[in-house]
Amino acid sequence: MQINVKIKRYNPEADARPYWAEYKLEARGSDRVLDVINHLKWEVDGTLAFRRSCAHGICGSDAMLINGVNRLACKVLVKDLGERITIEPIRGLPVLKDLIVDMEPFFDSYKAVLPFFINDDPPPPGERYQSAEDRAVFDETTKCILCAACTTSCPVFWTNGRYLGPAAIVNAHRFIFDSRDQGAAERLGVLNQANGLWRCRTAYNCTEACPRDIPITRAIEEVKRALLWRGA
């Protein structure tokens, strides 16, 4: 079918400000949006810039604002969008070129919550034991692929870039609720600060946007309660 694709483009070496470019092309309903922009890049305009790698929703490269919602370009099909497709870079991070944004602030926030396993006891010769129930508590938040779809869909983050954002909280949750980990107090301490957890206004955009179906707001609320009830 004939589709109409509008892409917000910006070339820092040529354009003073971003502008909308429109393309008409043939596509199949079963095409991914990634296929569509690949086609544009390969056949129509080689200068179009975006990130991609795995093409099936596992690497987190290609989060974009597609028809008003954050999604992975490789995980949404043309037939679910209709004939008019609008693509913009995700919001709240500096745009570097076309659909490519600066991910460094995002990763800085991620790193701020100490997103690594902390346990200073000498490990046993085999594995540390953990019951299946204890493992299940943080199962959902281990699925994060750091695509930033959540953080850049958050209305608080759009205007307040200092907010750590849902992705950082999700990754903190993954460790705070891991029974083997000993760093919960420090992570909660970080999240307790002005631009941490308490900036979340439960807008749920993050949960709707997450391509991994992580119940993000639920996780955030769990961390809020953990902070509230921790015996400090």
Partner 1 sequence: MYRGREGQWAFVLHRMSGVALALFLLLHVIDISLVMWGPDGPFNAFLAFYHQWPFRVGLIVVIAGVVYHALNGLRIIMMDFTEWGVRYQAALWYGVLGLTTLIGIPVLWKIVPEILGIA
Partner 2 sequence: MARAAAPRTFSDAKATYQTNSELAWWVFMRVSGFLLVFLTFGHLWANNMAFNAGEIDFDYVASRLAQPSVKVYDSFLLLFALLHGVNGLRYSIEDYIQRPQRRVAAKVALFTVAGIVFVLGVMALWTFSFTEMGDAVRALEP
Partner 3 sequence: MNRAHKFDVIVVGAGGAGLMAARYAAQHPGVSVAVISKLYPTRSHTGAAQGGVGAALGNVSEDHPEWHAFDTIKGGDYLTDQDVAERFAVEVIEAVYELEHMGLPFNRTPEGKIAQRKFGGHTREFGKSAVERACYAADRTGHMILQTLYQQSIKDRVNFFNEFHVLDMIMEGGACHGVVAYELATGDIHTFHAKATIIATGGNGRMFRVTSNAHALTGDLMSIAYRRGLPIEDPEFYQFHPTGLYKLGVLLTEGARGEGAILRNGDGERFMERYAPTIKDLAPRDMVSRAMYLEIREGRGAGPDKDYIHLDLTHIDAHVIETRLPDITEFSRIYLGVDPIKELVPIQPTAHYAMGGIPTTIDTQVISDGQNTIVPGLYAAGEVACASIHGANRLGTNSLGDLIVFGRRAGIEAAKFAASEGFTELPAGVQDRTRELIDGVRKGKRKERVSHLRRELQDTMQDYASVFRTEEFLSQQVEILRDLQERYECVGVEDEGHKFNTELLEAIELGFLLDNAEQLVHAALNRQESRGAHSREDFKERDDATWLKHTLVYKDGDGVRIDYKPVTLGKYEPKPRTY
144 interface partner picked from ligand FES, ligand SF4, partner 2, none, CB below 5 to 8 A per type: ligand SF4
156 versus 223: smaller Cβ distance to ligand F3S: 156
Residue with Cβ nearer ligand F3S (61 or 152): 152
Give the binding-site size for ligand F3S (rule: CB under 6 A).
12
Q: List all residues 6 or more positions away from 211 whose beta carbon is below 8 Å from its beta carbon.
A: 57, 63, 71, 72, 75, 145, 147, 149
Cα separation, 189 vs 82, in Å, equals 46
Residue 68 touches which member of partner 1, ligand SF4, ligand FES, none, C-beta under 5-8 Å by kind: partner 1
Radius of gyration for the alpha carbons in the chain, expressed in angstroms and rounded: 20
Q: Residue 166: how many CB atoms within 10 A of its CB?
A: 33
Q: Which stretch binds ligand FES (CB under 6 A): 2-10, 57-65, 104-112, 163-171?
A: 57-65
Q: Which residues in 173-232 contact ligand HEM (CB under 6 A)?
A: 201-202
Match 């597609």 to its residue by tokens: 66
Q: Are 75 and 211 in contact (CB under 8 A)?
A: yes
x/- track of binding to ligand SF4 for residues 139-158 (CB under 6 A): -----xxxxxxx--------
8-state DSSP, 163:
S
User: Contacts with partner 2 in 108-137 (CB under 8 A)?
Assistant: 108-109, 111-112, 114, 118
Cβ neighbour number for residue 109 with a 10 Å cutoff: 24
Which option in ligand F3S, ligand SF4, partner 2, none does residue 210 bind, with CB closer than 5 to 8 A by kind? Answer: ligand SF4
The token pair that represents 228 in the structure block = 């509230």
Report the candidate in 191, 212, 202, 188 with the shortest Cα–Cα distance to residue 63.
212
Say if residues 3 and 30 touch (Cβ distance below 8 Å). no
- The correct pick among 54, 77, 96, 190 for binding ligand FES (CB under 6 A) is 54
Give the residue, chosen from 39, 51, 91, 199, that forms a contact with partner 1 under the rule CB under 8 A.
91
Phi and psi, residue 69, nearest 5°: -135, 145
Interface contacts to partner 2, rule CB under 8 A: 94, 105, 108-109, 111-112, 114, 118, 156, 159-163, 183, 186-187, 189-190, 192-196, 198-199, 224, 227-228
Interface contacts to ligand SF4, rule CB under 6 A: 144-150, 167, 170, 209-212, 214, 216
